[in-house]
Amino acid sequence: MGIINGAEFAPTSTYLDTAKSGLLPARAVEAIQRLAAENGMGAGGGSGDFGIVNAAREAFARLVGVDRSRVANGGSVAVHCGLIAAAQRPGSEILLPEGEFSSIINPFVVRGDLKIRYVPLEELAEAVRPTTALVVYSAVQSADGRLADDTAVRAAAAAHGARVLNDATQAAGWLPFDASPYDYTVTGAFKWLLCPRGTSFLTVSEEAQESLVPLHAGWMAAADTWNSTYGPLSELAPDARRFDEPPAFLAYHGAAQSLAYLEETGIEAVHAHDTALAARYRAGLADLGHEPVPGGSPIVSVPGLADKEPELRRAGIITAARAGHLRASFHLYNTEADVDRILDVLSG
């Protein structure tokens, strides 16, 4: 089985670490190299193409089911979260799962004047209360692949008047993810979306856009960008583009190609492929007497096996050691042969 496209990917290892960083499609690599060569020669219209940056925005918007007017381009999840954290009133209660990824925790913690409350992921929805201002969590946990109960969290937040920030970094690209019901979503695109590092997307509902101040506003945040390059801007962009960071052109030229490739492939097809490989791996682990963290995502973590990561690396199998677990993650460039190979090494 497999939907791997040999023309797009040529891994030189058994690469099972997409949860850390995805492989770039060949077309993305070519786009980056082409722009780098132009920059080196002083050719073209400058350091990059804003039209291509906007094409990446539009492709991401389609992949997560929102209008492009709700999407801001940026470089990191932490910066997006910092923007949202800065908008919280002093003393506001921020609800987070225990053991959540630090990039979405720290921007709220370092404020120093917010009430941070942690609960187990499984108890997140029932822990929302009338004093909660914002619920912050990942749709899929980075450390072990557990999926949050998004529907329950949204319902609980709505019942108590809280807003929701969902980090889709470990979801968008393999899981059919709809960003439209959320006040905010953040997505680091260099994992399952196969984009270069330096590409990240923020979505903001129309209502929530008024809650944020574009603190890092440059000329890109203006309604009329090309006439706003000097002096204070006269008018902000009327949509989420006001929250754009200046684009890293090399990264975004690659990202536009990667996102187009995923659109062509189809997220439903990727979901079926990735989860089938993970299920095969889970079954094989059970046969070997190992018990992975329960779940159905393509991130499979096995408690107590983190010390196997160096041995696997020596065998040309790239995984990760996270939170005491051996973490393997399966994406569209992986095949059943990759699953069988890691199981063979783990079997001794």
In angstroms, rounded to a whole number, what is the distance separating the alpha carbons of residues 224 and 166?
31
- CATH for 14-25+266-346 is 3.90.1150.10
pLDDT value, residue 43: 80
Q: What is the pLDDT of residue 334?
A: 96
Whether the Cβ atoms of residue 138 and residue 170 lie closer than 8 Å to each other: yes
Q: What does the radius of gyration of the chain's CA atoms come to, in whole angstroms?
A: 21
Instruction: Tell me the per-residue pLDDT of 137-180, one tens digit each, with 9 for 90 and over.
Output: 999 999 999 999 999 999 999 999 999 999 999 999 999 999 99
332 CA to centre of own chain: 16
Unique residue bearing structure tokens 């004047």: 113
Find tokens 């959320």 and name the residue. 182
Q: What is the pLDDT of residue 3?
A: 61
- pTM here? 0.95
- Would you say 338 and 315 are in contact if contact means Cβ atoms under 8 Å apart? no
| pLDDT tens by residue, 8-25 | 998 999 999 999 999 999
Residue pLDDT, tens place only, 299-333 = 999 999 999 999 999 999 999 999 899 999 999 99
Residue 287 has phi, psi (to 5 degrees) of: -65, -30
CB 138 within 8 A of CB 101: yes
Identify whether the C-beta of residue 261 lies closer than 8 Å to the C-beta of residue 194: yes
DSSP code, position 222: B
Percent of the chain with pLDDT over 90: 92
pLDDT (tens digit per residue) in 96-139: 999 999 999 999 999 999 999 999 999 999 999 999 999 999 99
Q: Looking at residues 198-225, what average pLDDT do you find?
A: 94
Cβ-proximal residues to 188 (8 Å cutoff; 6+ apart), any chain = 76, 77, 103, 169, 199, 200
Number of H helices, E strands in the chain: 11, 12
**29-264 domain in CATH 3.40.640.10?**
yes
- Nearby residues of 283 by Cβ (< 8 Å), 6 or more positions away: none
Pairing of strands 317-318, 14-15: parallel
Q: What is the pLDDT of residue 1?
A: 42
Residue 221's φ and ψ, nearest 5 degrees, are -85, -5
pLDDT at 47 over 70: yes
Enumerate the CATH 3.40.640.10 domain ranges in the chain, comma separated. Answer: 29-264
Cβ-based burial of 190 (10 A; exposed 0-12, middle 13-18, buried ≥19): buried
